[in-house]
Amino acid sequence: MTAWILFVLVAFGTLVSAVMVVRTADLVRAVLWLAASLVATAGLYALLDAGFLAAMQLLLYTGGIITLMLFAVMLVRRGPEAPTAGLIANPGRALTASLAVFGLVAFTVAEAGLPTEPGAGGSPSAKLLGQVLLGPLALPFEALSVLLLAAMVGAIALARRKDPEE
C-alpha cells in the first residue's frame, strides 16, 4: 500500500514538472523544472530497487547536466530581457503527434503479456552491475570512453574563446 502511495506521489511530481518544463516561457525556470523532474525520477528508481542508478541519476543528471545547462543559459543571457523559450503558438500538430506516440505504446502494452511480479535478478547490486559492465558489456564500455573524449574535445574546441592572435 505504501508503495502505491509513494509511486503516485513521485510519479505525479515527475509528470507535472515535465509538463512545466515544456510550457514555461522563462528558460531558467524551465531548466529548474527539469531538475525537479530528474530528481523525482531518481525517487522512482529508488522505488524500483535501483539504488545505484538513483545515485547516478542525481550525480550525473541533476548535478552535471542541470548545472551545465544553467551555466549555458546564464552565458546566453544578454541584457535585461530573459531569453525566452520561443513557444510556438499553435501546438495542435505537436499535441497530436505526442498523443499518437502515447497511444501506440499504450496499445502495445495492453496487447503484450506482461510479467506481474518483479522478476528475480531485476534488482542488481552495484557489484553485479560492475560485473556486467566489465563482462558482456565491456566493448560498449570502452567505446564509450572514446566518445567521452571526443565530446570533451569537441565541446572545448567549440566553446572556447578565440586566441588573442585571431
Partner 1 sequence: MMPLAIPIGVCALAVLVLAIDLVPGTGPRRGAAALAAAGLAALFVATWFVPSGVALSGAFENDAFTVYVQRIVLGAGVLAATGMIDHAERLFPRRHGEYLLLLLASTCGMTLLPGAKELITLIVAFELMGVPLYAMAALHKGTTIGNEGAVKLYVAGAVSAAITAYGLSFVIGATGETMFSVVRPGEGPMIVLGALLMLAGMAYKLGAVPFHGWVPDTYQGAPAPFVAFLSVAPKAAGLAGMARLLWEAFPRTADRWTPILLALAILSMAIGNALAIPQSNARRLLAYSGIGHMGLLLLALLMGRGSGLEAMVFYLATYVAANMGAFLVAEAVEADGGGEIAHFNGLARRNPGLGLALLLFLLSLGGIPFVAGFWGKMVLFRNAWLAGYTWFVLAGALVTVVGLFYYLRLGRAVYIEAPTNTAPVATGGAMRTAIVLAVLVTVGMGVFPTPFIEAAAAAGVAVGR
Partner 2 sequence: MNGPPLEAWLALSAALFAVGLFGVLTRKNLVAILLGVELMANAANLNMVALGHFRGTPFGQAAALFSIALTVAEVVVGLAIVVLLARTHKSVDADAPSEMQG
Residues 97-136 that bind partner 1 (CB under 8 A): 104-105, 108-109, 111-113, 119, 135-136
CA distance 160 to 166: 13
Number of Cβ atoms within 10 Å of the Cβ of 39? 19
The DSSP secondary-structure symbol of 19 reads H
| 140 touches partner 1 (CB under 8 A) | yes
Per the listing, cell 507535472 goes with 16
Q: For residue 89, what is the DSSP state?
A: S
Does the footprint of partner 2 cover residue 147 (CB under 8 A)?
yes
Take residue 59 and report the three cell numbers written for it.
550525480
> What does 120 bind: partner 2, partner 1, none (CB cut-off 5 to 8 Å by kind)?
partner 2
Name which of residues 25 to 54 contact partner 2 (CB under 8 A): 27, 30-31, 34, 37-38, 41, 44-45, 47-50, 52-53
Give which of partner 1, partner 2, none residue 67 binds (C-beta under 5 to 8 Å, depending on kind). none
Q: Which sign does the torsion angle of CA 104, 107, 113, 119 carry?
A: positive
Q: Which of 81, 114, 139, 164 binds partner 2 (CB under 8 A)?
A: 114
Which CB atom, from 117 or from 165, has the smaller least distance to partner 2? 117
The answer to whether 68 contacts partner 1 (rule: CB under 8 A) is no
Closer to partner 1 by CB, 5 or 159: give it. Answer: 159
Euclidean distance between CA atoms 49 and 29, whole angstroms:
31
Grid coordinates representing 164 are 588573442
113 binds, among partner 2, partner 1, none (CB under 5 to 8 A by kind): partner 1
End-to-end alpha-carbon separation of the chain, Å? 66
Which three cell numbers, joined as nine digits, stand for 28?
531558467
Residues near partner 1, by CB under 8 A: 104-105, 108-109, 111-113, 119, 135-140, 143-144, 146-147, 149-151, 153-158, 162-163, 166
